[in-house]
């Protein structure tokens, strides 16, 4: 993510809940995750049944090295590639994700995946949150956006309105929590919300969601860039301005026209999402959600082609992340691949998360 306020970056932490059983299963409200700890970990000595909280820190700079070198290091987990996978209880979809600090000094990308059911309706939620000027906004979205959405009284009956209102409410709540701080960080949010077979894609910022339909790459979101004609007009009509400062920026500062947070750029930079809808039929094969660390170096069509080459979505997410890094991406790289299955396999939902160092 391009932001003039790079000096404001803070250490990113990805919060997960660990059930301290002998097998060390990760427990969350919607999913069970099997953790494979690093070799030097003390997790397997856990005896207590009391839930613990663990912070995974990605704050050390990895430097411009080949990804293979980074993955072979075993003296520290900082900057490691984190991957994981899961499958819905009805077997109609599987997903995988990969997240990598890359060449950035700090990790500001976050992601979220949730599977649940409401009134016997299967609900799947996937999100990419790419922070700028710090990690706090992206981390806040991971912790609150989907929770707030599923609590919205109209979530099942008027989902599009619920999404729009939840995005803006969550933005306001984040700004309120930060009102006594000197930080002014922000974040994108690209989300895919599947209720039954109906898909809603909501986007704020320049992360992106791309669908493969009958092998054709179709963008389901349009990057919010300040030089986009409609976005520039909206900003200028509100009294703001767009100028060139290495790239097009709102107020000469932010290289995107919509974002969560960024108090000093309100109301020109807003968190009102663009929402697209799609019925998931037999032609819809998969989704790729990713931060711009991937899209800066991999076109939509190639991302879909690479993802389709892999049978498992976790392998696809890993391949996409590694490809983006090998092509010189200088940003954090995070992606989620969702694969739809038409053969309705009768398997239970499982999920695993792995940290490769």
Contacts of 350 (CB under 8 A, 6+ apart): 32, 34, 86, 87
Which residues are CB-neighbours of 232 under 8 A, at least 6 positions away? Answer: 226, 242, 257
What's the structural domain count of the chain? 1
Q: What is the mean pLDDT of residues 298-315?
A: 98
**Distance between CA 237 and CA 216 in Å, rounded?**
37
> How high is the pLDDT of residue 142?
98
Confidence at residue 59, expressed as pLDDT on a 0 to 100 scale = 33
- CATH no. for residue 82? 3.60.40.10
139 in any annotated domain: yes
Q: What is the pLDDT of residues 18-73, one digit of tens each?
A: 222 323 333 333 433 333 444 344 434 343 333 333 333 333 333 333 333 333 33
247 in a structural domain = no
Query: How many helices and strands (H and E) does the chain possess?
Result: 7, 20
Whether 252 and 269 have beta carbons less than 8 Å apart is answered as: no
Nearest one of 112, 116, 172 to 143, comparing CA atoms:
112
- Asked, for residue 90, whether it belongs to a domain, the answer is yes
Domain hosting 17: range is 6-154+182-224+275-356
In a domain, 172, yes or no: no
pTM over 0.75: yes
- Per the CB < 8 A criterion, the answer to whether 35 and 353 are in contact is yes
pLDDT over 60 (residue 115): yes
How far apart are alpha carbons 282 and 305 in whole angstroms?
A: 18
pLDDT at position 183, please?
A: 85
Mean pLDDT confidence for 69-96: 72
Who wins on pLDDT, 88 or 4? 88
Domain assignment of residue 88, yes or no? yes
Nearest-5° angle of CA 316, CA 322, CA 323? Answer: 85
Mean pLDDT (the chain, rounded): 81
**What pairs with residue 287 in β-bridges?**
211, 338
Give the model's pLDDT for residue 333.
98
Has residue 16 been placed in a domain? yes
> Is residue 231, in this structure, part of any structural domain at all?
no
Q: What is the pLDDT of residue 21?
A: 30
217-276 tens-digit pLDDT: 999 999 999 999 999 999 999 999 999 999 999 999 999 999 999 999 999 999 999 999
Summarize pLDDT for 193-207 with one digit per residue, the tens: 999 999 999 999 999
């Amino acid at each position: 993510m391009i932001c003039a306020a790079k000096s404001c970056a803070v250490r990113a932490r990805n919060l997960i809940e660990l059930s301290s059983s002998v097998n060390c299963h990760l427990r969350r409200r919607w999913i069970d995750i099997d953790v494979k700890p690093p070799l030097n970990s003390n997790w397997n000595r856990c005896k207590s049944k009391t839930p613990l909280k663990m912070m995974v820190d990605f704050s050390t700079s990895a430097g411009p090295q080949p990804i293979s070198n980074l993955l072979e290091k075993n003296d520290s987990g900082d900057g490691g590639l984190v991957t994981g996978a899961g499958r819905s209880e009805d077997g109609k979809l599987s997903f995988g994700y990969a997240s990598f600090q890359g060449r950035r000094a700090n990790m500001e990308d976050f992601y979220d995946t949730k599977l649940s059911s409401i009134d016997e309706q299967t609900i799947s939620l996937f999100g990419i949150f790419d922070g700028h000027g710090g990690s706090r906004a992206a981390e806040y979205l991971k912790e609150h956006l989907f929770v707030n959405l599923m609590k919205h009284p109209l979530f099942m009956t008027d989902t599009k309105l619920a999404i729009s209102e939840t995005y803006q409410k969550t933005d306001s709540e984040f700004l309120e929590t930060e009102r006594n701080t000197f930080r002014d960080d922000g974040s994108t949010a690209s989300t895919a919300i599947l209720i039954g077979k109906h898909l809603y894609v909501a986007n704020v910022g320049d992360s992106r969601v791309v669908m493969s339909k009958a092998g054709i790459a179709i963008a389901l979101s349009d990057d919010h860039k300040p030089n986009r004609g409609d976005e520039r007009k909206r900003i200028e009509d509100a009294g703001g301005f767009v100028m060139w400062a290495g790239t097009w920026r709102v107020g000469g500062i932010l290289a995107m026209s919509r974002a969560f947070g960024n108090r000093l750029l309100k109301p020109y930079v807003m968190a009102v999402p663009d929402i697209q809808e799609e019925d998931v039929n037999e032609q819809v094969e998969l989704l790729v959600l990713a931060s711009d660390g991937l899209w800066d170096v991999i076109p939509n069509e190639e991302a879909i082609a690479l993802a389709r080459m892999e049978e498992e979505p976790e392998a696809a997410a890993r391949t996409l992340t590694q490809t983006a890094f090998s092509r010189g991406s200088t940003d954090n790289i995070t992606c989620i691949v969702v694969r739809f299955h038409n053969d309705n396999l009768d398997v239970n939902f499982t999920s695993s998360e792995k940290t490769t160092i």
